[in-house]
Structure 1
Amino acid sequence: MGFVKEFKEFAIKGNAFDLAVGVIIGGAFGKIVTSIIEDLIMPVVAAMVGKPDFSSIYFAMGKGSELIPEGASLAEAKKAAPDAAIFAYGNFITVAINFFLLALIVFIMVKTINRMKKKEEAVAVATPPAPTKEEVLLTEIRDLLKAKA
């Protein structure tokens, strides 16, 4: 029974539960950011500079590289010369651009959220706290004493 009790305490403990909620929210947030990049940002980039897919950029070297026809796609090059050393750096460029865009979008979102939090904090600081019951009572007593004098 001790094991079950310990597991129950662990599973219900705030840290484990908070972590589970964080993972779930993080997964959903990841989908939102991916959608922003794929559905909103990349079409704009594609409209400005063409389709931003560099995955077929490569160069072949070594034995068999002369068998690759000029202008062949990466898949065609690998099929035509399976023994050639193909340095396919285009996919890295695509992934790097996607990472940069992802980091930029997350930065803008975090900056916007922080700006909204600062505005909320400023409003909270600008609004004085309501007087306590004791303060209200003392104010009434003071006003009564002034009225008698």
Structure 2
Amino acid sequence: MRGLWSEFKAFALGGNMLDLALGFIIGTAFATLVDSLAGDVIMQFVAAIFRQPDFTQLAVTLNGSEIRYGAFLTVLVNFLLLALVLFGLVKLLKKIGLGNFRAQGSHECPYCKEFVPIDAVKCKWCTADIEPGQAEDEDLKLVADRQRTAE
């Protein structure tokens, strides 16, 4: 039982778990901040233009079913604002050189058919040299052919 407790403690207090927990907490607080910006500032300007202070009440009734498109519009605006703010933050961090932003996605190794990160130059499974950023099947076939002729 003592070994299990020490394993759990190492897991729960390990660097990755704490980073994840702190990132989640900060992300939640940031989302609340952007939600307030959207609802309390930007949506108020939109409401002043359309003379409608609250879009959540906008709805259409079809055959007794209420379609609340106003609530959806409010959530959509909140989402778009959050995405825009996060995009701007990432662009700013890249520009000033902070953060380690790598290419996202993966592609299949032409040799072992396992998936590796899109910017990998060596397959972590079979250790073959591969060219990064080639996600199309035709491109992977060309890479495989070049590798075979080079050997």
Q: Shorter chain as normaliser: what TM range?
A: 0.5 to 0.7
Deviations 1:103-145 (A, max 9, x none): 3212321232133223313xxxxxxxxxxxxxxxxxxxxxxxx
CA contact (8 A) 2:59 2:66 kept: yes
Following superposition, which runs of at least 4 residues in structure 1 exceed 3 angstroms of deviation?
none
Question: What residue ranges of structure 2 are gaps of 5+ in the alignment?
Answer: 98-151
Cα distance in 2 for residues equivalent to 1:41 and 1:50: 14
Asked whether 1:38 is paired with 2:14, we answer no
| Structure having the higher Rg | 1
Q: Which structure is richer in relative contact order (CA contacts within 8 A, separation 6 or more)?
A: 1
In structure 2, the CA distance between the partners of 1:14 and 1:109, relative to structure 1 (3 Å rule), is: same
TM-score, normalised to structure 1, is: 0.55
Asked whether 1:50 is paired with 2:51, we answer yes
Percent identical among aligned pairs is: 29
Aligned residues: 96
Deviations 1:11-52 (A, max 9, x none): 111222122112211220121011011111110010011224
Cα distance in 1 for residues equivalent to 2:10 and 2:41: 44
Partner of 2:66: 88
Higher fraction of helix:
1
TM-score, normalised to structure 2, is: 0.55
Question: What residue ranges of structure 1 are gaps of 5+ in the alignment?
Answer: 62-85, 122-149
Cα distance in 2 for residues equivalent to 1:56 and 1:95: 7
